[in-house]
């Protein structure tokens, strides 16, 4: 992997990732951009004990631009975008409309009260462009390009974790308008949080309770149990296993674990990195085959969220790195909406049994 770091016109960092060493990416950003101030805040919910980010400036972010005005395409033919180069393999840059930003501390004063606790939204939000082709998808990448994305995720995890303001790094992809994506170019995001999000905190608490009860690690026991339960397995490799969880919340939900417990992406070894691209691409393509498109129409692309769960910098020794992939589509033309009990009470009701979902995903293999 070869890195080329540069700055955009407003001072934001941009990093090109290429497979070949010595690749030159030195095109300057010629746009007349002024630095943008972030007014992000994090506020503590006194009832749930959870942090909520307030980022009102994001109302002005780019929203469903025409393909010819996509800010994630390379700068070509006189049209300047967020990526100055005329081509790229993988590129990562600071979001111009971030939910969290390091300079928030310069603009937002902390507050402390009996029930009102507020902090600047100090963190970092980055955009990861997987390919220069506007109409592509992650599933269209070959294994070498998917490996390059994995290496970029790992590199960003290491760099962002080193920031003193950051407690947890979260790499993820949202795909599809149904999910809420506002830019259709193949891309994901990375959030570097100044706090440990509540879902991670609940995982850590569950792992601690399991350790107290059994003396063992929760995630190691979970993986061993699922690997011994064929009815929910989707695919297995030498170093990774993908399964539908016993208590899946989404219609089609798959968790992908390395067999060796590691805290984050930086701790994966070469064998694990080498096997991951093929398995992950297989999973994504199975998701796309769940709901075949009508004959003569464009190929189906199932909306999904793909999320890496990594241990925070401190207090997460029991947490195991894993990826959670799920779709909100429950049937052709039908979505799983988070309605009263899910949105109002966080009590999920699933429409597809985990065992049936696993069977369909196994049947969606190409061979």
Residues forming the active site? 187
Among 249, 260, 262, 274, which residue's Cα sits nearest to residue 347?
249
Q: What strands lie across the sheet with 117-120, from one edge to the other?
A: 50-54, 41-45, 117-120, 111-112
Q: Which two tokens stand for residue 268?
A: 């994966």
Cα–Cα dist 204/315, whole Å: 8
Total count of residues recorded for the chain: 367
Buried b (16+ CB within 10 A) or exposed e, 131-170: bbeeeebbbbbeeebbbbbbbbbbbbbebbbebebbbbbb
Cα–Cα dist 4/252, whole Å: 38
Q: In 3-state terms, what secondary structure has residue 124?
A: strand
Residue 164's alpha-carbon distances to 109, 174, 186, 313, 326, in angstroms, are: 18, 27, 31, 10, 32
Residue whose entry in the numeric block shows the structure tokens 């506020």: 43
Residue whose entry in the numeric block shows the structure tokens 């941009």: 14
> How would DSSP label each residue in 63-112?
-S--GGG-TTSB-BTTB--SB-SS--SEEEEE-SS-SS-GGGGGT---EE
- Residue 186 is classified by DSSP as S
């Amino acid at each position: 992997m070869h890195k080329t770091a540069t700055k955009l016109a407003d001072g934001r960092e941009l990093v090109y990732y290429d497979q070949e060493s010595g690749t030159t990416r030195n095109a300057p950003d010629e746009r007349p951009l002024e630095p943008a101030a972030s007014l992000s805040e994090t506020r503590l919910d006194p009832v749930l004990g959870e942090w909520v980010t307030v980022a009102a400036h994001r109302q002005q972010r780019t929203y469903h631009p025409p393909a010819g005005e996509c800010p994630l395409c390379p700068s070509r033919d006189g049209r300047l975008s967020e990526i100055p180069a005329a081509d790229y393999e993988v590129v990562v840059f600071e979001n111009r409309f971030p939910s969290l930003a390091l300079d928030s501390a310069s603009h937002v004063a902390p507050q402390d009260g009996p029930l009102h606790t507020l902090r600047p939204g100090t963190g970092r939000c980055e955009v990861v462009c997987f390919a220069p082709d506007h109409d592509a998808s992650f599933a269209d990448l070959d294994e070498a390009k998917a490996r390059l994305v994995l290496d970029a995720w790992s590199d960003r995890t290491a760099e962002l974790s080193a920031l003193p303001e950051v407690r947890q790094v979260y790499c993820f992809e949202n795909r599809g308008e149904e999910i809420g994506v506002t830019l259709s170019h193949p891309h994901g995001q990375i959030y570097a949080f100044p706090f440990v999000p509540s879902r991670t905190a609940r995982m850590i608490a569950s792992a601690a309770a399991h350790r107290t009860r059994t003396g063992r690690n929760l995630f190691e026991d979970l993986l061993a149990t699922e690997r011994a339960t064929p009815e929910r397995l989707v695919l297995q490799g030498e170093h990774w296993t993908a399964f539908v969880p016993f208590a899946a919340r989404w219609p089609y939900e798959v968790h992908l674990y390395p067999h060796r417990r590691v805290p984050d992406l930086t701790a994966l070894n070469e064998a694990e990195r080498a096997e991951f691209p093929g398995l992950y691409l297989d999973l994504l393509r199975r998701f796309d085959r769940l709901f075949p498109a009508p004959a003569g129409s464009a190929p189906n692309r199932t909306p999904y969220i793909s999320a890496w769960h990594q241990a925070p910098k401190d207090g997460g020794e029991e947490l195991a790195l894993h990826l959670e992939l799920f779709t909100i589509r429950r049937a052709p033309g039908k979505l799983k909406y988070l309605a009263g009990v899910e949105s109002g009470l966080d009590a999920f009701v699933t429409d597809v049994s985990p065992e049936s979902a696993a069977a369909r995903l196994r049947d969606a293999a190409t061979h």
